[in-house]
Amino acid sequence: MFSNKYNNKIKGRNLNNILLNNMKILVYIEIN
């Protein structure tokens, strides 16, 4: 149970990081 919650938290963070990085890349491309 505990490890499941922990794994889901990590997955969520990774997803957020990927989305943030994609947004940064898009913004960077828009600027240049």
Residue spans of the domains in the chain: they are 1-32
> How many whole angstroms separate alpha carbon 11 and alpha carbon 21?
15
Could you read off the pLDDT tens digit of each residue along the chain, which spans 32 residues? 567 888 888 888 999 999 999 999 999 888 88
Region class of 14: left (phi > 0), else alpha (psi between -120 and 50), else beta: alpha
Give me the pLDDT at residue 1, please: 56
Give me the pLDDT at residue 8, please: 83
